Amino acid sequence: MFLPGYGSDMEGTKALALEAWAKRSGRAYLRFDYGGCGQSAGAFEEQTLAGWRDDVLAMLDQLEGPAVLVGSSMGGWLMLLVARDHPHKVAALVGIAPAPDFTDWGFTVDEKLQILSEGRLEKVGRYADLPMVYTRAFWQSGEANRVLFSGLPIDVPVRLLHGMADAEVPANRTIRLAEVIRSAKVQVTLIKDGDHRLSREADLALLIAAVEDVTRAL
């Protein structure tokens, strides 16, 4: 199951590349849009991190047996929440530039104050023409669901991919994540010239190899 990042949808390069791999490999695969994103109903600015986590759980409830969760950026945060709180639903994790707790470290003090006082913040991103909107409801939901303040009781195989040229999520945050996950079956792959998207052909090959690696043990 592919979990997109903040403001992304199921039509992204990585989601489609994994679908093509799954078809070639005879694997079941699910990609979907969170509420308020892509083709799903709802207003984007009314969504929260906890609400999107619940969307993931609703999709997992439709499946037979545990799933391999592939989380990109914020999707990496969601996969950790689900694996921590619903371990029977998760067989393995693959994170692509995972961004857990970004409501804490991803904003300046002034930006946090604006979110709290005005209820929303428009922030220009590197990969979109229009500013990304962050709301007070989303920010507060993120702060209430932080995962890196203590050890993560996750015991499944975990593969984490991160570009060292990522200007959105520092690669050292993935190193920290690997440290706090309890599982000994955690491997980190750093791509020296990789950016946050990791959508080049070589990056996609590494992603597919990571998914193949964890599925071989299932």
Active site residues: 73, 166, 196
Cβ-based neighbours of 144, under 8 Å, separated by 6 or more: 50
CA distances to 1, 109, 133, 204 from 38, rounded to whole Å, are 16, 30, 15, 22
* DSSP letters for 107-167: S-HHHHHHHHHHSEEEE--SS-SSPEEEEHHHHHHHHHT--TTS-B---S-EEEEEETT-S
150 touches 131 (CB < 8 A): no
Cα distance between residue 85 and residue 77, in whole Å = 13
Distance from the Cα of residue 177 to its chain's centroid: 13
